[in-house]
Amino acid sequence: MTKRLKTPLSEDDVRSLNVGETIYLDGVVYTGRDEVHIHALEYLEKGKPIPVDFKGAALFHCGPIMRKVGEGWEVVAAGPTTSSRMNSLEPQFIEKFRPGAIIGKGGMSQPTIDAMKQHGCVYLAITGGAAVLAARGIKSVSGVEWYELGMPEAVWILNAENFGPLTVGIDTHGKSLFADVNAKVKENEPAVRERLGLKT
């Protein structure tokens, strides 16, 4: 089943999603990876203002290639980065900033799955490396914040239209496609070890 949703996402929208569903997004998508997580949490602790509002937002684990065009910017390539690098900061980020969706690749660990369940946030998987396909769903760029962090690490404010396909990888019911695959891989491991002549 395919759904089309608009950001910022309402908690009802988010909680209605189930793992395995295919989603397309419209509206603003913010990029944010390692340095944005570190920075935003630090700013919050020091009481400094955060330049964008992450509430209900789609946060994209992405460090795009951008090209300056006149006064503005255009996206050249914008695929996801490995989400697990943000595992240690994401639960706190979700609790404090309450985004509606995290877009990335590779999945995230149990504390993030728990935080998503508690605060109403989903993980949307997008095909890693498919950066030109992803960039097609970005119609324009509204701006950039924290550019001093460098092109890959800045917060890019992207206007998405029919952005996807995104697969719901973690839902608000505590289910994770990645955990399901891991369980299957564990089941398959003994046969692999036998094939390689290793102790099972």
Partner 1 sequence: MVVEADIQNAVVELLRRTVVKLPSDVEEALVRALDAEVDETPKMQLKAIMDNIKLAGEGNTPMCQDTGVTIFYVTLPRTCEIDVERGIIEGVRRATSEVPLRPNAVHPITRKNPGDNVGDGMPYMNWKVGNNDFIEITVMPKGAGSENMSQLAMLTPSQGVKGIKEFVLSTVLRAGGNPCPPMVLGVGIGGSSDICMKLAKQALLRPLDERHKDPEIAGLETELLDALNMLGIGPMGLGGKTTAIGLNIEYAYCHTASLPVAVNVQCWAARRGTVRIHLDGRLEFPTNEE
Write out the residues near partner 1 by the rule CB under 8 A: 20, 22, 35, 62-65, 67, 76-79, 81-82, 84-85, 105-107, 125, 127-133, 135-136, 149-153, 165, 167, 169, 177-178, 180-182, 184-185, 188-189, 191-193, 195-198
Q: Which structure tokens are listed for 29?
A: 């998508």
Q: Which structure tokens are listed for 181?
A: 């695959």
C-beta separation of 30 from 60 below 8 A: yes
Specify the DSSP element, H or E, that contains 52: none
Shortest CB 20 distance to partner 1, Å? 8
C-alpha span between 115 and 105 (Å, rounded): 18
Is 27 or 152 the residue whose CB approaches partner 1 more closely? 152
Shortest CB 191 distance to partner 1, Å? 6
Angle between helices 34-46 and 90-97 (to 10 degrees): 50
Q: Which of 37, 39, 61, 119 is catalytic?
A: 37
Residues facing residue 123 across a β-bridge = 102, 170
Is 33 or 119 the residue whose CB approaches partner 1 more closely? 33
**Cβ atoms within 10 Å of 169's Cβ, excluding its own:** 28
Is 88 or 181 the residue whose CB approaches partner 1 more closely? 181
Shortest CB 148 distance to partner 1, Å? 9
Shortest CB 42 distance to partner 1, Å? 14
Cα 107 from chain centroid (whole Å): 9
Is residue 119 among the annotated active site residues? no
C-alpha span between 157 and 143 (Å, rounded): 5
C-alpha span between 127 and 81 (Å, rounded): 10
Is 64 or 120 the residue whose CB approaches partner 1 more closely? 64
Active site residues: 37
